[in-house]
Chain A
Amino acid sequence: MNLADVLSLFSLPFMQRAVIGGVLLGILGGILGSFLILRRLSLFGDTVGHSAMLGVVLAALLELPSTWTLIGFTVAFGLGVIYLIDRTDLGSDTVLCISLSGSIALGTIGFSYLKGYRGNLLSILFGDILAISNTDLILLSLLLAVTLAWIIISLPEQILLTLNSDLAIVKGVPVRGHRYFFIVLLAITIALTIRAVGILLVNGFLVIPAASARLICQQFVPFLVTAAGIGATSGVMGMVISGAIDLPSGPSIVLVQLFGFLAVALWCRQV
């Protein structure tokens, strides 16, 4: 495919929506993923992502709108898991594994009860960023606006509770409220990201850009900006590469993130 073909491909509305979606998802994943990895919640993102299978099956069984059902399910599931972690003496990894296994088991059983064509449900495993709609873009823009407002209003409090929750409580930070609100933002982001890249790759969007930024940044605000920048750049580059050499879009974006991380890791070792 020559340059003219690539340019004509990106003049198509669905490709433009996919690129904008990739950028918005990359920025959101970079920002929320920064807190996710510092709070050691990487496994949490994976668990909520995989539980989405149950959410999709429920939406299909009950004939509910898929986007809103998935958002509602991931938020409820995420809050439920955090509540269990807070209320039990079990380790968080144990609670997460139990929740993951339970949701996958229920999702698989529910899946077997579905009648008729089930191929579109399988797409939840891999997602389809090319199918991103204008409604999805509006939702992503709103979510990004809320996330940025949340950061601007409470960044020092978020950093303090990430660093040491006791210190934050003594300073008067509403730690529990902030934690639960973060989980809500994260769960909605996961729900919307899954539609684009699938449950198998959703955690890459959250973890890889933030991990790369963490290797090169000394200060917190540059760390957040870098993670968001890497997420956005990966979104554009992944889409261009997938369009130019006809590769699946979501995995192409994650591969760009991965190669970026490897380059940063090697560069840091040399410095």
Chain B
Amino acid sequence: MYQNLSVPQPIVTVRNLSVMRGEYLAVDNVSFELLPGTHTAIIGPNGAGKSTLIKSILGLVEARSGEIKLFNTGKQLKRLKPEIGYIPQKFPFERTFPLTVSELVGLGLNSKQWWYSSKGQRERIYQALEQVHLTKQAPQKIGTLSGGELKRVLLAYCLVVPRRLLVLDEALAGVDATGEMEFAALLDNLKQEHNWTILEVSHDLDLVSRYCDSVICMNRRLLYQGSPQTTLTPENLLHIYGSLISPTCHHHEPSRRTESF
């Protein structure tokens, strides 16, 4: 993976980060780096501070202390936001919300007058939907989509402009097993194609071991960090979850069963 002779500069550097949620210390002195082109999963039990950690990186939650550096520059997060794609865990909206799939994808464009969309902009929206195999759904209302389709539309929203970092907060929550597999494979293909750096919160250890280059195990504090092979060991899982079998561990192929960890 790291064939370059020169040392690659990290895309994300987190140093001694602590974040409060009310009176509760949700993230306690966490440090890590993400290298360009890598796919990293954050795992841990419920309430471990995983979502809080990525929300803090994205500027959605204020950090109590510590440092977050993006794209190895001293620039403010505000200036770097166009290069970050984000798919939230929850995306609640009323099914009658008057917005079509192509309009939602168009909102990802850095244009303020998108409804006058030029031919070029329409083409970019179409290409983004083509990459997630949803061109037929372009004129549909977003309320008519299934959970898996909606997540793919949000992926197209991220694709419509070039991104360097993609952050996913349990993006597959509420999606069925088939939808999960399709999304994970699609994400992996797009990552290779666009050389994205991906940071995601995941509960699916099978998909993590299959597609991720590195894993961050946390329970408010950083517990383990490294490749899936070295971090997802039975001893570590026992320590992280208090049990060998994670309650959200799906088995997508018999040959990749997580009992083999």
Residue ranges of A at the interface with B (Cβ–Cβ < 8 Å): 38, 152-157, 159-160, 163-164, 166-167, 169-172, 213-215, 217-223
Contact = CB atoms under 8 A, between A and B. Distances in A.
Contacts of B104: 163
17 contacts: A38-B97, A153-B112, A156-B107, A156-B113, A156-B114, A159-B103, A160-B107, A163-B93, A164-B88, A166-B86, A166-B88, A169-B59, A171-B108, A218-B98, A219-B98, A220-B98, A220-B115
Nearest to B109: A156
Given A217-B98, A218-B100, A220-B98, A170 B93 contact: no
Interface centre among A152, A172, A222 (most CB of B within 10 A): A172
Interface of A is mostly: helix
- The 10 tightest CB contacts between A and B, nearest first, are A223-B98, A172-B81, A170-B86, A217-B98, A156-B114, A160-B107, A221-B115, A218-B141, A170-B58, A166-B88
Contacts of B94: 38
Dominant secondary structure of chain B at its interface with chain A = loop
Nearest to A153: B112
Interface in B79-121: 81-82, 84, 86, 88, 91, 93-94, 96-100, 103-104, 106-109, 111-115
B128 to A, nearest CB: 15
B17 to A, nearest CB: 18
B60 A220 contact: no
B60 A166 contact: yes
B98 A172 contact: no
Contact of B99 (A163, A166, A213, A215): A163
Contacts of A153: 112
> Which of A153, A167, A222 counts the most B-chain CB atoms under 10 A from its CB?
A167
Given A164-B93, A167-B86, A218-B98, 10 more contacts: A155-B115, A156-B107, A156-B114, A159-B103, A163-B99, A169-B60, A172-B81, A213-B98, A218-B141, A221-B115
